[in-house]
């Protein structure tokens, strides 16, 4: 029994590619005191991981690629964990076997997955970090009111599809922006009122304006870049802008991100723009997961996964997600 790991081979300058990681084999480690060994079943690839590939972002060449995953406990030195239980953690990494430390604080805590409630990979998507991002980003930063016009960029992605549905639950009119008609068909199927294919729309700002008469009250932004600029031109009075991600410009390792300065529009509208990282809300994780589970059981939260099979394909899954070729939350099943 061998361990396999994808380790960082070189920091990325722009897009990650085949030379960014390399596969190494090694011994399966053993857990120390109050640790567990898990055999990875699912790995998550998410846009935030692109930032980790930049030089100076914390990862060294040779390090196991960081990332969340779900696995079965195969060895336990922790009194609260039994072999056969399912664990979810952000510290699994791109490897077949991982030693985890369940008692770590905050977001590094290892969570037990109740496979009776939902499939185990849900802990990596709508019942996990992306779900929490959508929940707190929309409700606590976006602060939607009934009747608000809400724009969600990266609308068919792991976070976007949930953010849009949560805004619908809050009584809003929701416009989704994505880069393929197939993605937007999914958005419509789960209740988005209008959709915009930014790749097919020459004047994106005008189209956002057409979809949001009176302006955009809440902008839940997962992309940044020119999509960001187009929506910022359409803010309503007292709008709230949640800066959740920047997948559209994340491939630039260095240099400045140049585009529209929004000062004029911010003064005119008194809008609030807030940067968001879900871990700041981690202490309210249980509240959010309960709500998300209730909404799902009631049929008002639907979720689409895009599954790639095989540990050897993790980099491929990451790269296709960054290119926007996935349809729904990108996962890898080992």
**Which residues are at the interface with its own copies (CB under 8 A)?**
221, 224-225, 228-229, 243-246, 249, 256-261, 263-277, 280
Give min distance, CB of 148 to its own copies, in A: 18
User: What are the residues whose beta carbons fall under 8 Å from the beta carbon of 68, sequence distance 6 or more?
Assistant: 43, 44, 46, 88, 89, 90, 92, 124, 128, 129
Give min distance, CB of 132 to its own copies, in A: 15
Give min distance, CB of 275 to its own copies, in A: 3
Instruction: Give which of 218, 106, 131 is closest to 171, Cα–Cα.
Output: 218
Give residue 236's Cα distance to chain centre.
27
Mapped onto helix, strand or coil, the DSSP state of residue 7 is strand
Q: Given the complex with its own copies, which of 67 and 225 has the nearer CB atom?
A: 225
Give min distance, CB of 80 to its own copies, in A: 32
Q: Given the complex with its own copies, which of 189 and 206 has the nearer CB atom?
A: 206
Which of the 8 DSSP states describes residue 58?
A: S
Contact between residue 241 and residue 230 where contact means Cβ atoms under 8 Å apart: no
Give min distance, CB of 71 to its own copies, in A: 29
Q: Given the complex with its own copies, which of 12 and 244 has the nearer CB atom?
A: 244
Distance, in Å, from the CA atom of 138 to the CA atom of 121, rounded to the nearest integer, reads 23
Distance, in Å, from the CA atom of 188 to the CA atom of 161, rounded to the nearest integer, reads 10
Give ∠ CA 306-309-312 in degrees, rounded to 5: 125
Q: Given the complex with its own copies, which of 74 and 260 has the nearer CB atom?
A: 260
Q: Given the complex with its own copies, which of 4 and 260 has the nearer CB atom?
A: 260
Distance, in Å, from the CA atom of 114 to the CA atom of 293, rounded to the nearest integer, reads 12
Q: Given the complex with its own copies, which of 207 and 221 has the nearer CB atom?
A: 221
The total number of residues written for the chain in this structure: 334
Distance, in Å, from the CA atom of 70 to the CA atom of 114, rounded to the nearest integer, reads 12
Give min distance, CB of 281 to its own copies, in A: 10
Q: Given the complex with its own copies, which of 65 and 244 has the nearer CB atom?
A: 244
Q: Given the complex with its own copies, which of 141 and 317 has the nearer CB atom?
A: 141
Q: Given the complex with its own copies, which of 270 and 284 has the nearer CB atom?
A: 270
Distance, in Å, from the CA atom of 136 to the CA atom of 278, rounded to the nearest integer, reads 7
As a whole number of Å, the CA-based R_g of the chain is 20
Structure tokens at 87: 């664990």
Give min distance, CB of 15 to its own copies, in A: 17
Give min distance, CB of 79 to its own copies, in A: 36
Which of the 8 DSSP states describes residue 245?
A: -
Contact between residue 21 and residue 315 where contact means Cβ atoms under 8 Å apart: yes
Contact between residue 266 and residue 246 where contact means Cβ atoms under 8 Å apart: no
Structure tokens at 30: 């053993």
Give min distance, CB of 292 to its own copies, in A: 22
Distance, in Å, from the CA atom of 79 to the CA atom of 26, rounded to the nearest integer, reads 27
Name the β-bridge partners of 242: 220, 274
């Amino acid at each position: 029994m061998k361990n396999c790991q994808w380790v960082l081979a070189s920091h990325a300058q722009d897009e990650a590619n085949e030379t960014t990681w390399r596969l190494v084999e090694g011994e399966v480690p053993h857990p120390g005191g109050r640790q567990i060994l898990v055999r990875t079943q699912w790995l998550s690839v998410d846009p935030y991981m692109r930032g980790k590939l930049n030089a100076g972002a914390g990862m060294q060449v040779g390090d196991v690629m960081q990332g969340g995953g779900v696995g079965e406990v195969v060895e336990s030195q922790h009194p609260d964990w039994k072999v056969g239980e399912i664990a979810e953690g952000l510290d699994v990494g791109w490897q077949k076997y991982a030693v985890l430390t369940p008692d770590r604080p905050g977001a590094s805590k290892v969570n037990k997955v109740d496979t009776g409630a939902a499939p185990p990979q849900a802990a990596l998507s709508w019942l996990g970090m992306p779900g929490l991002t959508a929940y707190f980003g929309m409700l606590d930063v976006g602060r939607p009111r009934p009747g608000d016009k809400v724009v969600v960029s990266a609308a068919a992605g792991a976070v976007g599809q949930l953010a849009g549905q949560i805004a619908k639950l809050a009584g809003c009119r929701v416009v989704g922006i994505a880069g393929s008609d197939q993605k937007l068909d999914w958005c419509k199927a789960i209740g988005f009122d209008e959709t915009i294919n930014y790749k097919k729309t020459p004047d994106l700002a005008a189209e956002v304006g057409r979809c949001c008469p009176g302006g955009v009250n809440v902008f839940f932004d997962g992309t940044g870049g020119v999509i960001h600029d187009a929506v910022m031109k359409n803010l309503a009075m007292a709008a709230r802008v949640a800066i959740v991600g920047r997948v559209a410009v994340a491939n630039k390792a260095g240099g400045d991100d140049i585009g529209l300065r929004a000062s004029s529009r911010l003064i005119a509208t008194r809008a609030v723009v807030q940067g968001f990282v879900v871990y700041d809300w981690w202490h309210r994780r249980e509240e959010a997961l309960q709500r998300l589970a209730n909404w799902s059981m009631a049929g008002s939260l639907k979720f689409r996964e895009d599954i790639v099979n095989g540990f050897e394909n993790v980099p491929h899954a990451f790269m296709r997600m960054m290119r926007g070729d996935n349809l729904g939350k990108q996962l890898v099943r080992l």
